[in-house]
Structure 1
Amino acid sequence: MEPADADAGIDLAELLAAFSLATDLGLGQPMEHVLRSWRIAERLAERMRLPEEERQALFHVSMLGWVGCIADSPEVAASFGDDIAFRADSYEVDLAGPAGFGFFLRRAGRGGALWHRFRVASTILASGGQHVVQGMQSHCVTTSALAERLELGPGVARALRQFFTRWDGRGVPHGVGGADIAPTIRLLHLADVVEVRYRTGGIEGAVEVARARRGRQFAPDVVDAFVAHAPEVLSGDGIDLPRLRPLTQGELDSALEALADFTDLRCATRAGHSRGVAELAGAAARSIGLPTADVIATRRAGLLHDIGLHGVPVTVLEQPGPLSATDWERVRLSSYYTERVLARPAALARPGAIAAMAHERMDGGGYHRGLSGAALPMTGRVLAAACAYRAMLEPRAHRAALSDKQAVLAVREAIRAGALDGDAAEAVLSAAGNGTRRRVSGPAGLTPREVEVLVLISRGAQTGEVAERLGISRKTAGTHIERIYTKTGASSRSTATLFALRNGLLDPLDL
């Protein structure tokens, strides 16, 4: 069996559910809002006797319905300020008709100078809100494209293109309404809103908003079913995910790449950042000689390391000047969000923990934990160097992109200052094609094979076990161990283990 065909230990439902937690951040809602909305819709679907095929599609549609908000965040921020606050506030208003138009006008240019607010409001009035409509259409197109990349079927993609429709036909696309709307979308329209109202106003608040929007935003039969069963539909703790499709290692990598590409859409200047970091980090980890499992986890961490940015408004990420203390704290929290979002399932916890170290520094000057020295495993050191180098090559709101030569000099200055690990950073530069001033190797000049052996003996493997694990002779394994002791100055397995810990070769997550 090819490695890519092996079971990844994760179901597609678990992966989509994990990504939905990042979507919650972008909506300004507590984590598991999307999951709770699905549960409400699923219970309604059961009571309305929705066919099994539609109920399975309902999970996909629920998990991905709001993902497109990532793609249109820059446009939302340009028109309405803090995109997260804008979406959170939008749950309080029926966005069609005078109430919705008034909401858009009140939010126009929020946070900007008076002239900017006037210009945005004038544009909305003159165009009848057409640029808002275009943003909604773009949202639906990008979301359906993700569904296609994840091979969720044409029915799911079609439904997602109707995400901003309304029962009364006043949504987007205009004129599409009533029975033309997919049953899954009709259920989700109501579930998404009543989940929020239930948390803020209890069952009475949820029922009130459902009745108020009956026949307008919400399908009448869905509202009637909800009102008849609201206590049972809304109550209950815990969320049992459906079993959809176990993923192979190759399918998991492909799915993570798709999600990484969407994550980078949050800021125009970050397009391709996560995939670029992943390739650099994976190649560097391999060249240092980290075990195969660590190489895979480091590359996946590169794909996932910015997922916590969904909790940071675009107005902060694209701030052209210095950040305030409050805004800087929101940026620092993004690494915490990354770790929190990926804490489960188990297949994502390991790369998630590494991903949360992308902005840590060897001297303790990074975030969000302020780890330093031996507390940072080599996987985290490699990722931090790859992220720093790649970011230097990309433009940001507060600076232009650095040239490759400038970035290399900046990385090596960070090594001298003690912020980046020298072996990890030089391996990243080598992977980027910049060469190094010395042969890329592990600490103390260990070869990649010797690093593998050191990791194994530090974890308790005897000479024979090392030989068996690496497919080499016992004599060759013994020679490697002798050379490791000589190069590191170790006199026993315990002192060799201390060397490995000090240099980040033993990941604390594995101990």
Structure 2
Amino acid sequence: MDLARHDTGTVSVAELVGTLSLSADLGLGQPMEHVARACLIAVRLAELMGLSADDRGDTYYLGLLAFVGCTADSHESAALFGDDLETRAGVYDVEIGSPAMLAYLLRRAAGHGSLLHRATVPARLLATGGSGVRPLMATHCQVTGQLAARLGLGERVCGCLEQTFTRWDGRGTPPMQGEQIALPTRLVQLADVVEVHHRHGGVAAALDVARRRAGGPFDPAVVAELVRHGPVLLDGLPPESSWAELMAADPTPRALTGEGLDGALEALADFVDLKSPYFAGHSRGVADLAAAAARRAGHPEPEVRTLRRAGLVHDLGRSGVPNTIWDKPGPLTALERERVELHAYYTDRMLRRVPALADVGAVAALAHERLDGSGYHRGVAGTALPATARLLAAACCYHAMTEPRPHRPARTPDEAARELRAEGRAGRLDAGAVEAVLGSAGHRPRRAAGGPAGLTPREIEVLALLARAASTRQIARRLGITPKTAGNHIERIYLKIGVNTRAAAALFAMQHGLLGSLEPVEP
């Protein structure tokens, strides 16, 4: 029994890509909904310019996706320039591909790393005129194009994503200029920068940066349209959250359900894991292991499905932590540990935006919590952690132990199993969840996987109803069994858990996280 009550239902492609854009906001060193507001600017400007429905549709999805690729080059960017979030945030004050940007990158490289790094990296950048960052841009564009293809967004959107770092004057990458660059790309490039300057300095600052960069990175004709419509367009942005307007602006809503939703979430999981080479395959591996453990423990298939989806997105917030922390070879400071713990909070905030993923988000947000309250980000404990969250926590721990990290090599499966059981004995992880995970990972369980006190899946269902004061007849009707069979289940439950009253049974169910999967009992 668990938080997962049913299939999560219908999720639109826009909701899923929009959720990923919130992750991109953090990776760009911007507050959440930077990308959402920039996308609205681009789409509304396209409408004011009278663009075709196809161009407006391409602009919408390009606006959401163009800059999510910052995750892919974080490892390399941090190695060159230090904190990748700070580096990208500072780029908005200079033109991409300009001498000012080269000077900015030289300062970043010279202020980071060892003495050898501070001497050699700036020298290489200066000698090549900054062309050493072009591979980072190419990586960014390639992975966003692959993601768009996996989400079925069409060849034109994929083609536009390859042009993300072009410039109107031809000094960008790849070497294209003028009207060779697709109009949706030109709109999104302008809107991305304008949103930041509008947020910091209002309409005047936004229009000023657009005018100064017209003819360089930006199409002068598009800038002219922005200047013409800018005050009305920019003042018309939502004062707080842009999420509702962003979803309403979707020109071609497409629903994702069942296997389509699973495939899209897998694409997001793979993308999230690009944040660091140490995370490659982590989210998908955790999801599959947690789902297998849930089946082994007798959870019904809807809960297994929700748990797997939660595993795929449980680390969505990693983009909000710089790679100077994720890739650090030594121990973290107290402040660095606090920043790591924030990633669970970011994940929670992102998934809350999509109502149809509420059940998934409720489990995913608990992936790093512990039974004794020592986890993060909420520090919840005991009965507040449902069975699926306990399985996810154990699966995440085990899988992470078997992966290399910058401060340690990967543990062997046997080493990881010993450590995981030690966490169970210490009361930080649920012992039953630990054995279910280890059994699913190929280890011999020390006791049969299943519910606490040896309860079977059917007995857990009966207990959940009993805890809600359902009568024997109501339990029988709800589960499609005879009243006699229901009564036999109740007797065995009482015997196994060592109680003889409904209230005591309800307390046991709450203590072990066995409630939450069933709707209220009808009279």
With structure 1 as the length reference, what TM-score do the two structures score?
0.95
- 1:501 is aligned, of 494, 497, 510, to 510
| C-alpha distance after superposition, 1:170-208 (max 9, x if no partner) | 11102x121111111110011000000001111110000
1:352 is aligned to 361
Q: Secondary structure at the match of 1:108?
A: helix
How far off is 1:290 after superposition? 2.9
1:27 is aligned to 28
Contact 2:168 2:215 in 1 (8 A): yes
Separation in 2, partners of 1:329, 1:26: 17
Amino acid at match of 2:65: L
- The verdict on how the C-alpha distance between 1:165 and 1:327 changes in structure 2, with shifts beyond 3 A counting, is same
Amino acid at match of 2:416: A
What is the RMSD of the two structures over their aligned residues, measured on CA atoms?
A: 1.9
Contact 2:8 2:358 in 1 (8 A): no
1:199 is aligned to 199
Contact 1:378 1:507 in 2 (8 A): no
Amino acid at match of 1:234: L
How far off is 1:379 after superposition? 1.5
1:318 is aligned to 327
Which is worse superposed, 48-57 or 84-93?
A: 48-57
Separation in 1, partners of 2:518, 2:148: 33
How far off is 1:295 after superposition? 2.1
Contact 1:350 1:509 in 2 (8 A): no
Separation in 2, partners of 1:509, 1:455: 8
- 1:307 is aligned, of 306, 311, 316, to 316
| C-alpha distance after superposition, 1:205-250 (max 9, x if no partner) | 0000000010111111110010011111112314421261111121
Q: Check if 1:143 corresponds to 2:179.
A: no
- 2:302 is aligned, of 271, 287, 293, to 293
Q: Check if 1:451 corresponds to 2:451.
A: no
Separation in 2, partners of 1:468, 1:69: 54
| C-alpha distance after superposition, 1:417-438 (max 9, x if no partner) | 1111101111111111112011
1:222 is aligned to 222
Separation in 1, partners of 2:287, 2:140: 26
2:213 is aligned to 213
- Mapping of residues 471-490 of structure 1, within 5 Å: 471-490=480-499
1:40 is aligned to 41
1:413 is aligned to 422
1:187 is aligned to 187
- The verdict on how the C-alpha distance between 1:134 and 1:487 changes in structure 2, with shifts beyond 3 A counting, is same
Separation in 2, partners of 1:430, 1:109: 50
How far off is 1:286 after superposition? 2.3
Contact 2:369 2:379 in 1 (8 A): yes
How far off is 1:137 after superposition? 0.9
- The verdict on how the C-alpha distance between 1:303 and 1:194 changes in structure 2, with shifts beyond 3 A counting, is same
Separation in 2, partners of 1:10, 1:408: 37
- The verdict on how the C-alpha distance between 1:507 and 1:100 changes in structure 2, with shifts beyond 3 A counting, is same
Contact 2:438 2:444 in 1 (8 A): yes
Separation in 2, partners of 1:385, 1:120: 42
1:376 is aligned to 385
Separation in 2, partners of 1:51, 1:102: 40
How far off is 1:463 after superposition? 4.1
2:98 is aligned to 97
Structure showing greater relative contact order (alpha-carbon pairs closer than 8 Å, 6 or more residues apart): 2
Contact 1:361 1:372 in 2 (8 A): yes
Which is worse superposed, 120-129 or 392-401?
A: 120-129
| C-alpha distance after superposition, 1:14-59 (max 9, x if no partner) | 1111221111111111111000001101110011111101211222
Contact 1:287 1:448 in 2 (8 A): no
Contact 2:8 2:360 in 1 (8 A): no
How far off is 1:401 after superposition? 0.5
Q: Secondary structure at the match of 1:368?
A: coil
- The verdict on how the C-alpha distance between 1:509 and 1:413 changes in structure 2, with shifts beyond 3 A counting, is farther
Aligned length: 505
Q: Check if 1:439 corresponds to 2:440.
A: no
Separation in 1, partners of 2:467, 2:162: 53
Contact 1:162 1:172 in 2 (8 A): yes
- 2:277 is aligned, of 268, 277, 286, to 268
Separation in 1, partners of 2:464, 2:129: 64
Separation in 2, partners of 1:386, 1:110: 39
- The verdict on how the C-alpha distance between 1:275 and 1:461 changes in structure 2, with shifts beyond 3 A counting, is farther
- The verdict on how the C-alpha distance between 1:509 and 1:410 changes in structure 2, with shifts beyond 3 A counting, is farther
Separation in 1, partners of 2:110, 2:93: 19
Contact 1:343 1:349 in 2 (8 A): yes
1:3 is aligned to none
Separation in 1, partners of 2:20, 2:519: 25
Which is worse superposed, 447-456 or 375-384?
A: 447-456
How far off is 1:251 after superposition? 1.1
Amino acid at match of 2:47: E
Amino acid at match of 1:223: V
Amino acid at match of 1:434: H
Contact 2:467 2:502 in 1 (8 A): yes
Separation in 2, partners of 1:459, 1:398: 48
- 1:423 is aligned, of 409, 428, 432, to 432
Amino acid at match of 2:197: R
| Percent of residue pairs identical | 53
Contact 2:58 2:157 in 1 (8 A): yes
How far off is 1:465 after superposition? 4.9
1:113 is aligned to 114
- The verdict on how the C-alpha distance between 1:182 and 1:477 changes in structure 2, with shifts beyond 3 A counting, is farther
Amino acid at match of 1:347: A
- The verdict on how the C-alpha distance between 1:334 and 1:7 changes in structure 2, with shifts beyond 3 A counting, is closer
Separation in 2, partners of 1:472, 1:178: 72
Which is worse superposed, 227-236 or 105-114?
A: 105-114
